[in-house]
Amino acid sequence: MTDRVPAEQVMREMIAAACPDAAPETVRELAQDVADTGLRQVSRPESMRKVAARFAGMLGSGSQTVKPLEFTVLTGLFSLRIDGRRVTLGQRKARAVLLGLLLRGGQASVAQLINDLWGDQPPASARATLMTYVAHLRRIFSALERPELAGGNVLTTIHGGYALNMGLVSSDLQRAQELEQLARRAQEAGDLAVARHALLSALGQFQGRPLAEEVGSFAEAQGHMLDEWRLVLEEGQLALQGQALELDLQHQVLDGTADLTASELLLARMAATGMTTQEIAARLAITRRTVENHLTHIYRKLGISSHQALPEAVGHGTKPPADTDLGRASGRSRGTP
């Protein structure tokens, strides 16, 4: 069994080598996730490197360089840290300005930010007050004693609105979004292992219900949307896990089962675990006679003559998923042999 520490080191080395501009925390989290969940059956360094290389290749090299400002969005309270130290952002509406920019990818119009702060009935002084909040935030950034954060480098004025310099900003939300995109690319490429690990890493960015401790209609609405997004990620991860289980089931069988159809393979595996024909019929919502007919074909294809020979012919001990439906797997209607 591969030891976690060297496995994780290989992951870090491979991912960092392929993605020299990737944020260190992204490399670390991906490496830990693969070491935790992806290498339990891997015993050779070459196999470990292949997994890491696939991960790194899917991540790509377009990530930004190390970012000094770390925002937390996917937790109860929206906050900012720099070098691990928490920085006070001031009153709620000043935080809402930053939150509105982050949730829109770093850029928002004056009208959007005013609506975030006051809804459909802003005061006459809304624009001037917004400018006051922006000036307040710029003073906070300038006080951090980092040359790159001085003046308006972080929060800039653009035509009709404001923008964050995303080269100086990092957030748990951004990492989760990048990991979701990684999962999508991996799934399209047929690499379910990388896709599943990426979604697990994305879910790992959430620490409780997003923005639950923030007040105001904008924060509440955004927190609800982020919580819904987490459910989408969870559903995607569970679906990938189901696909992986099905593939694992197929990979466990011996070469002699190559001539079996998908439905015959599933039925043979169920029978090999000791289930009776009646139990199989009840599980799959088909008739007992259908099961018996399928088993007759299976025996002939495998070159065996009895139920007792199935375990050795198709492998031992793994039961198919509880919701397996032979009719769906074979493309036939219920009760049809």
Angle between helices 217-252 and 262-272 in degrees, nearest 10: 80
Share of the chain above pLDDT 90, in %: 20
What are residue 159's phi and psi, to 5 degrees? -65, 115
263 vs 173: CA distance, rounded Å: 42
Q: What is the per-residue pLDDT for 125?
A: 94
What is the distance between the alpha carbons of residues 56 and 336, in angstroms, rounded to a whole number? 47
Q: Which of 123, 109, 190, 118 minimizes the C-alpha distance to 157?
A: 109
Query: pLDDT tens digit string along 194-207?
Result: 788 888 888 889 99
Residue 108 pairs in a beta bridge with 162
Model pLDDT, residue 315: 64
Residue in the block written with tokens 């006070």: 88
Which phi and psi angles does 213 have, rounded to 5°? -95, -5
pTM: 0.58
Cα separation, 222 vs 245, in Å, equals 35
Low-confidence stretches of the chain (pLDDT beneath 50) = 1-5, 37-44, 61-64, 253-255, 316-337
**Residue located via tokens 């375990």:** 311
Cα 303 to Cα 28, 48, 255, 314, distances in angstroms: 51, 38, 13, 12
pLDDT for residue 325: 39
| Closest to 318 measured CA to CA, from 269, 246, 265 | 269
